């Protein structure tokens, strides 16, 4: 059992390394699971992820540039292909096979670039999380971003697993209404890879965001459908339907406010993470303003979370093993923690 409130860094797992669109003609330096890597798209368009350290003199390859054959070190000009092999050794009589840098497996799909930081022999790309909505831009137009957060990645997952914080952290944006939030019902169930929950708040005034999107005239029934998939992703489907339309039996009806979010919290270090997220609107899909408005509503909400997460992190860094005091509403938090500890013990 992991002995601190910081989630374990599991090497043998797939993590989101970058959005596809981030990796263009300039190599990117990024730290993932305590390792500095360089992410680049070679001259043929394939993505490579290598240790960000030239084997010759330890210069960061991310200071180099893309050339025919791969990524050229900016110090003495050695070129490495996406497998990490040196393919050009300028001014030298030979290019020894031992001139190579460590490669990490990379898979690009659905707008994501995934990386496997552990033993390549254990990697299976069938385990990569599927998020088909990114392939369905007509139905689910999406926008996305990435934040660097100074907190252990599991604090971010915990935050998503206990929505009772909406009434306080987000009182000025999507939350508030503490008395209504306190009436939420929640069904929670463990899964093989994490935990799912469905949270309903019935007969509640629609949030200003909802009204702006859908012109609701009455109270709504509002749901939050979340799934945590260990180690580091959360899939979210949220929405609202006017009261009296059997929302709980049919969430896919016309006139529903419906949105999907993807969250991934890739550990940078034990104390920091990269937070990738996308949001897709399942309504007014032909209206680009709908996507932009939704994105612009979400951003300040996450800024509120970041303030709290980084403050919580500072406290925990001083005493990472000191006890917390769970509440009833932490049931999904606890199941998420169980899932990552299970994965950690299975992938030593």
Out of 11, 19, 43, 56, point to the residue binding a copy of itself (CB under 8 A): 56
Q: Residues near 102 by Cβ (< 8 Å), separated by ≥ 6?
A: 50, 51, 84
Token readout for 197 is 């929950």
Pairing of strands 112-116, 14-19: antiparallel
- Paired with 272 in beta bridges are 269
Per-residue binding string, a copy of itself, 162-191, x by CB under 8 A, is x-xx-xxx--------x--xx-x-------
**Binding residue count for a copy of itself, defined by CB under 8 A:** 48
| Residue length of the chain | 348
Out of 43, 66, 69, 76, point to the residue binding a copy of itself (CB under 8 A): 76
Helix H or strand E segment including 294: helix 288-318
User: Can residue 77 be called a binding residue for a copy of itself (CB under 8 A)?
Assistant: yes
Q: How many CB atoms lie within 10 A of CB 289?
A: 8
User: Can residue 69 be called a binding residue for a copy of itself (CB under 8 A)?
Assistant: no
3-state secondary structure of 157: helix
- Paired with 188 in beta bridges are 197
User: Can residue 99 be called a binding residue for a copy of itself (CB under 8 A)?
Assistant: yes
Candidate segments 73-81, 208-216, 234-242, 259-267, binder of a copy of itself by CB under 8 A: 73-81
Helix extents (H) in the chain: 153-161, 166-169, 178-181, 208-214, 288-318, 331-346
How near is the Cβ of 175 to a copy of itself at its closest, in Å?
A: 10
User: Can residue 111 be called a binding residue for a copy of itself (CB under 8 A)?
Assistant: no
Q: Which is nearer to a copy of itself, 146 or 165 (CB)?
A: 165
> Do 107 and 98 contact (CB within 8 A), yes or no?
no
Binding interface with a copy of itself (CB under 8 A): 5, 36, 53, 55-60, 63, 72-77, 89-93, 98-99, 158, 162, 164-165, 167-169, 178, 181-182, 184, 307-308, 311-312, 314-316, 322, 324-329
């Amino acid at each position: 059992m992991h002995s601190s409130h910081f989630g374990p860094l599991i090497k043998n797992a797939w993590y989101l390394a970058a959005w596809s669109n981030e990796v263009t003609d300039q190599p990117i330096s990024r730290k993932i699971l305590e390792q500095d890597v360089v992410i680049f798209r070679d001259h043929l368009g394939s993505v490579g992820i290598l240790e960000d350290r030239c084997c010759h003199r330890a210069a960061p390859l991310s200071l180099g540039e893309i050339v025919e054959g791969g990524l050229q070190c900016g110090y003495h000009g050695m070129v490495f292909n996406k497998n990490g092999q040196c393919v050009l050794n300028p001014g030298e009589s030979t290019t020894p096979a031992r001139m190579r840098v460590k490669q990490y497996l990379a898979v690009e799909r659905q707008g994501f670039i995934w990386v496997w930081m552990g033993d390549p022999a254990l990697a299976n790309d069938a385990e990569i999380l599927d998020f088909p909505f990114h392939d369905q831009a007509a139905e689910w137009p999406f926008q996305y971003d990435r934040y660097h957060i100074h907190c252990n990645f599991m604090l971010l997952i915990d935050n998503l697993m206990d929505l009772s914080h909406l009434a306080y952290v987000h009182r000025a944006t999507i939350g508030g209404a503490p008395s209504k939030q306190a009436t939420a019902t929640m069904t929670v169930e463990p899964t093989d890879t994490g935990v799912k929950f469905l949270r309903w708040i019935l007969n509640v005034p629609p949030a200003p965001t909802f009204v702006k999107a859908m012109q609701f005239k009455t109270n709504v029934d509002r749901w939050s459908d979340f799934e945590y998939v260990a180690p580091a992703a959360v899939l979210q489907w949220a929405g609202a339907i006017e009261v009296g339309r059997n929302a709980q039996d049919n969430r896919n009806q016309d006139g529903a406010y419906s949105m999907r979010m993807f969250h991934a919290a890739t550990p940078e270090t034990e104390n920091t993470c990269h937070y990738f997220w996308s949001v897709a609107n399942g309504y007014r899909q032909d209206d680009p303003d709908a996507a932009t408005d939704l994105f612009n509503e979400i951003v300040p909400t996450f800024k509120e979370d970041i303030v709290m997460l980084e403050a919580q992190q500072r406290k925990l860094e001083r005493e990472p093993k000191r006890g917390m005091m769970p509440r009833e509403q932490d049931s999904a938090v606890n199941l998420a923690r169980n899932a990552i500890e299970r994965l950690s013990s299975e992938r030593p």
